Amino acid sequence: MPDDRPPTSKIALRDMTRADIGPVRPIESAAYADAWPARAFEGELENAFARYRVAVEVPAPAPSLLDPLTDRLPLWAARPLGGPSRHGIVGFMGVWYMVDQLHLVTIAVAPEWQGRGVGQRLLLDCVDMGIEAELSMVVLEVRVTNARARAIYERFGFVRKGTLKAYYEDNHEDADVMILDLTSADALTNIEAVRAEHRARFGARFAE
């Protein structure tokens, strides 16, 4: 029998801060064999051409906590809820702003939160950032053996444009380069379909 009770918490997105590095690193380590040290995150947060976002579990109702002008969660609201949520942070992603493109550098979700729409919500946020910056494309690299991630990217409309040989330092695995064309009307229509699908399936768990 389905549980129709409203959720006691929601997931909201906000910009990453130095205080988030501690809870973010175990999530990255679980996702990547070549995880970054803390100092790498510190450098990225100081990089004017980079932006990092975290998905945070907050008490419901979360929408009232968001600043209506910035659509961001105040830092005081991202307090720990206990359990396996790693001090409230359940996922993160980072991008670099290039001349004509947004480069998705990293994205990861805590293992216990995978399959619950967090990664897709972060990826939608990434696409929105590219659109808002009026960039022509979003670019990313994915391991050639990571079929699950590649399937998600393809659902979002990313297409493979090439391969980087021995791209990953840990095992010299190749990387597929995938691109989402933000100038394509068909691609943008598909993104809206993905957004609607995500909202229908997971919307009750996320703060808009």
CATH of residue 166: 3.40.630.30
Regarding predicted confidence, which is higher, 64 or 99?
99
The total domain count for the chain is 1
Q: What's the predicted TM-score (pTM) here?
A: 0.83
36: confidence class by pLDDT, cuts 50, 70, 90: confident
Q: What is the domain extent for residue 121?
A: 9-205
2 in a domain, yes or no?
Answer: no
Residue 3 located in a structural domain: no
Whether 78 is in a domain gets the answer: yes
Residue 99 domain-assigned? Answer: yes
Q: 31 or 73: whose pLDDT is higher?
A: 31
CA–CA dist 70, 104 (Å, integer): 22
pLDDT tens sequence across 143-191: 999 999 999 999 999 999 999 999 988 889 999 999 999 999 999 999 9
Residue 46 counted as domain residue: yes
